[in-house]
Structure 1
Amino acid sequence: FTEAAALNFKTLESEGQEAVLELLFGEDGLGYSMGRVHMNSCDFSPKPYTFDDVPDDFTLSHFDTNVTHDVQSGMINLLSRASTKISANNGNLKLMVSPWSPPAWMKPPLPSDPPNSTYASTMNGSVQPSCLREGTAANSTYAATWAEYFSKFLTAYADQGVEVWAVTVQNEPEFPAPWEACSYDITSQRDFVEYHLGPV
């Protein structure tokens, strides 16, 4: 489930939408019951977006709990309708969430950023071995905030009627892609889960 898929789904007439749902999730179609959705934008989004772009908002008081972007793009609708189609066949949608990148303000500057930059200018790309400012050690404020961001996102989706079955720490964690990315090596990913994401 990507923003690109949702935007294309929106362009279809009702009969076309129903045909897609039946082909992918219906009893007479492929019968998929598991899917993945991105948290924040990904490389299948027209442009980068997050749900909190206010730098150093460690309490996430500016987090968009209505996940307005995903509602307006049609992602929530597509997920809800897929879930309904699967439920009609006595199944349950197992939805997994993966981030491509945290907000840029949580990331250290990239080599391409201006000298003396405080944080990355874009969600694209990543430094290594950890894409988060202050790394992922137990005392990292940014790692703690990013973990809390996961929780806020899951709650916001649940409030929209979309239940999440599982999360992954990161899409392609060892790849500093030129699109939305966040690199971790084995140690930094382990520490993020142990000290931050796990306890949340």
Structure 2
Amino acid sequence: MDAAQKFQSIDGFGYCLTGGSAQLLRAMSAPARAKLLQELFGTAGSAIGVSYLRLSIGASDLDAQVFSYDDLPAGETDPTLAKFSLAPDEKDLIPVLKEILAISPNIKLMGSPWSPPTWMKTNGNSKGGSLKPEFYDAYARYFVKYIQGMKTHGIRLDAVTVQNEPLHPGNNPSLLMEAADQAVFIGKALGPAFKAAKLDTKIICYDHNADRPDYPITVLDDATARPYVDGSAFHLYRGEIGALEQVHAKYPNKNLYFTEEWVGPPATCPRTWPGTPSSSPLGPRATGAAPCWSGTWPPTRSRTRTRPAAAPSAWGPSRWPPATP
């Protein structure tokens, strides 16, 4: 390895701050929480300097309840988003983010939706279904209102992915979004909405497993969508990391991100945090507890031109832009 030769840059290493994680953090005493956040996000002493966080836009499957920012009774719609509200995040998530930003003001944040509001979906349900084409514009403005609303709290989104795991409609919440549909949504609705609102938040496509590199390639093949897309995001539950080379080979000027690999606690792990009420289950909410993937990304093509290892942790984004020869 030639330490003087540079290849990719890294946006950051980190975790996902889920609603469940924020809830547990807020249940801690203020001094204990401050100490923990300093250890995670500080840079002095033994602090680990987490530099990137992924957030769910609305609820993820690791929140205590399923919600969007525009929930309505069955049969009602709100295409103007008059009832949009970040109130569900204002209880725990946003206060914790503000404490993190006080420690690390330059931390980068990525937002990812698990589902749009149910009234925008073909099945009217938080689980599965697809986005109705007649609500493409409304959903694009939903992203805009989220980014703008977070900004009013002093929280800047560096990037969003269009849909978490678009080929896995089995979670609650979730959404099925095929590649061709995502391309149309980005090119005809989301990209123009960001442009009209003068947002510099990056749009990242796919956000699912490495076994389907054809998905981001299909999105990037769309000439209308491509100018709005910063890059593609991947998980590693299926497929091999080398598949990302296929995307890079065809679109070398688009970035690649590793955004998720969930890890649960071992069977021997206590079900509650020490010092917290027994009603606060540890369970699967304790994501991001330990690094879960590392390696050379992408695979090296020669022994003399090794790319540095990227070692993001559970649900933690990192970026691999095109290499510099």
TM-score when normalising by structure 1: 0.82
Q: Percent identity?
A: 30
User: 2:192 aligns to what SS in structure 1?
Assistant: coil
* Aligned residue in 2 for 1:132: 131
Which residue identity does 1:69 align to in structure 2? P
Aligned position for 1:5: 21
Match of 1:174 among 158, 167, 172: 167
- DSSP-derived class of the 1:192 partner: helix
- Deviation digits for residues 59-85 of structure 1 (CA, Å, limit 9, x no counterpart): 111112xx111111x100111111111
Output aligned runs, 1:79-118, within 5 Å: 79-87=97-105, 92-109=106-123
Cα RMSD, aligned residues only = 1.2
1:152 and 2:158 equivalent?
no
Contact 2:55–2:110 (CA under 8 A) maintained in structure 1: yes
Q: Displacement of 1:86 after TM fit?
A: 1.1
Q: Distance in 1 between matches of 2:164 and 2:49?
A: 25
SS at match of 2:115: coil
Structure 1 residue identity aligned to 2:186: V
Aligned-pair CA distance for 1:24: 1.2
Matched, 1:71 2:90: yes
Q: Number of residue pairs matched?
A: 172
Which residue is equivalent to 2:135?
142
Whole-angstrom distance in 2 between the partners of 1:63 and 1:184: 23
Q: Secondary structure, in 3 states, of the residue corresponding to 1:37?
A: strand
Aligned to 1:31: 49
Structure 1 or 2: larger strand share? 2
Q: Secondary structure at the match of 1:123?
A: coil
Counterpart code for 1:56:
T
1:53 CA displacement: 1.9
Query: Can you list the C-alpha shifts for 1:103-129, whole angstroms capped at 9, x where unaligned?
Result: 1111112xxxxxxxxxx1x212x23xx
Distance 1:174 1:152 in 2: 25
Match of 2:38 in 1: 22
For the residue of structure 2 that corresponds to 1:198, the secondary structure is helix
C-alpha distance in 2 between matches for 1:36 and 1:51: 18
Residue 147 of structure 1, CA deviation: 0.6
> Paired residue for 1:138?
none
**Runs (5+) with no aligned partner, structure 1:** 110-119, 135-140
> 2: CA distance between counterparts of 1:49 and 1:176?
16
- State the shift of 1:178 in Å: 3.0
Give the structure-2-normalised TM-score.
Answer: 0.51
Aligned to 1:58: 79
More helix as a share of residues: 1
User: What CA distance in whole angstroms lies between the structure 2 residues aligned with 1:59 and 1:75?
Assistant: 26
Quote the Cα distance in structure 1 between the aligned partners of 2:171 and 2:23: 23
